[in-house]
A = this chain, B = another copy of it.
Amino acid sequence: MRSDRMARLAGVTVRTIRHYHQIGLLPEPPRSANGYRDYSAADLATLVRIHSFAELGIPLAEISRVLGDPTATDDLLTQIDEQAEADIARLTARRRDIAALRQNGAAPDLPASLARYVSLMTTAGSVSAEGMQYEREQLALLSRFVSVDGWESIARTLEDLRAAGEHLDDLSRRFLALPEDAPEDEWRAIAEEMMILIAPLASSEGFPPLGDEAAALLSQHQKTFLNSAQERVLARITELADSQG
């Protein structure tokens, strides 16, 4: 019989058959006068057996070996089963992550395990594109430096502050929108209002301390995004914190 009938009967494509010829898995059959391959029923049987092995996930490179002794597949099957188990676990976690991201309306550029906290830590309302980019990158860095427990305690504190009527988002927006040439009394006011919010955070037991490496990187990152007025705000906060410390 010719290629396409053989392929149809075995449930594979013609290209698959030729691939098996190329790698020496299925022997080349004789050719008829016009050069077409002429397969026998035994060839079909071999192809069907190869296909069964392949469907189970046995690598083609192993199949030539086990065609002769199909019972010698125990180790292979164990390995494939373990791999399948691991893949299923990974894919299941992925589906869980996607569901968590959707439920929290979070974007997938942060680990889904933190999806619950992202909206709490993002400034609500109109923020410039650069401001949003800045917050995203800060959160991305924090996601590598702060444990899930740490996020939990930060989020709790922020929720408490919001419940206490603090105007967090308003303050953030004012900070992010602070122009380079803002007058001194404007940026000073922002620094002091921020300090009032940060003080209880910094003294809280649950607040996660950052390692030196993380702190340095976050600070370096801030400097690339913030203008001189915003940097002065942060410097002023450090000053105030040191004098209170």
Please state if A107 and B45 are interface contacts (CB–CB under 8 Å).
no
Please state if B56 and A137 are interface contacts (CB–CB under 8 Å).
no
Which residues of A216-238 have CB atoms within 8 Å of chain B's CB atoms? 217-218, 220-221, 224-225
Which residues of A115-164 have CB atoms within 8 Å of chain B's CB atoms? 136-138, 140-141, 143-144
Please state if A42 and B137 are interface contacts (CB–CB under 8 Å).
yes
Please, which residue of chain B has its CB at the minimum distance from the CB of A225?
A: B42
Residue numbers of A with Cβ under 8 A of B are: 9-11, 40-42, 44-46, 48-49, 52-53, 55-58, 66-67, 70-71, 73, 77, 80-81, 84-85, 87-88, 91-92, 94-95, 97-98, 101-102, 107-112, 136-138, 140-141, 143-144, 217-218, 220-221, 224-225
CB distance from A218 to the nearest CB of B (A): 7
Identify 9 residue pairs between A and B in the complex whose beta-carbon atoms are under 8 Å apart, listed by A's number.
A45-B137, A49-B110, A52-B109, A56-B94, A57-B94, A77-B101, A84-B92, A84-B94, A84-B95
Chain B residues within 8 Å of A71, by CB? 107
Bound: A217/B112 CA distance, A = 56
**Beyond A49-B137, A53-B109, A84-B92, 18 extra complex contacts between A and B, CB < 8 Å:** A9-B217, A11-B144, A41-B217, A41-B221, A42-B221, A44-B141, A45-B221, A46-B137, A49-B109, A52-B108, A55-B111, A56-B94, A56-B98, A57-B94, A84-B94, A84-B95, A88-B91, A88-B95
Please state if A107 and B70 are interface contacts (CB–CB under 8 Å).
yes
Bound: A144/B51 CA distance, A = 11
CB distance from A129 to the nearest CB of B (A): 9
Instruction: Select one of B57, B73, B87, B108 contacting A73, CB under 8 A.
Output: B108
Chain B residues within 8 Å of A77, by CB? 98, 101-102, 108
Chain B residues within 8 Å of A48, by CB? 140-141, 143-144
CB distance from A13 to the nearest CB of B (A): 16
Chain B residues within 8 Å of A49, by CB? 109-110, 136-137, 140
